[in-house]
Amino acid sequence: MGVPIVHFEIGCRDNEKTKQFYCELFDWTIEQMGPAGVITTGAGSGIGGHITALGHEPHHYVTVYAEVDDIPAYLQKAESLGGSTVVPETEVPGQGAFAWLKDLDGNTIGLWKTAAGVTG
């Protein structure tokens, strides 16, 4: 069974300027929810995403998230294949959990697990 890409994240230094850029460029609607600006593309297809300013490096990145059933197992598998964990499993209250890993070339890939009972 495959692992779908279910979300994207755009990192930035300045949330407001970045939100304005993408809203004007693509006619997206972006609603601030905590530290993230949740993107509604209005397209009716594709995957959702968000914009966030971490307040530290990295400031400039785009990450895609693969939905998995066991984040620690996938991090361990990535490490066994020569990758590395960047951000360990981290809870997103009421939504699920995420982690970041680096592949062999240093690309950052996100892992996502939806919380039990949350439907999307």
**Domain boundaries along the sequence of the chain:** 8-63, 68-120
Does this model's pTM top 0.85? My answer is: no
Same CATH topology for 8-63 and 68-120? yes
Q: Which residue has the tokens 């919380």?
A: 115
Structure confidence by residue, pLDDT tens digits, 62-80: 999 999 999 999 999 999 9
What percentage of the chain carries pLDDT values higher than 90?
77
Residue 6 CB burial class (10 angstroms; 0-12, 13-18, ≥19): middle
Give the mean model confidence (pLDDT) for residues 2-24: 93
Length reported for the chain: 120
Domain 68-120 in CATH 3.30.565.10? The answer is no
> pLDDT at residue 119 above 80?
no
Structure tokens at 44: 């009716």
CATH assignment of 8-63, among 3.40.50.300, 3.10.180.10, 3.30.930.10, 1.20.1290.10: 3.10.180.10
Q: What pLDDT does residue 120 have?
A: 58
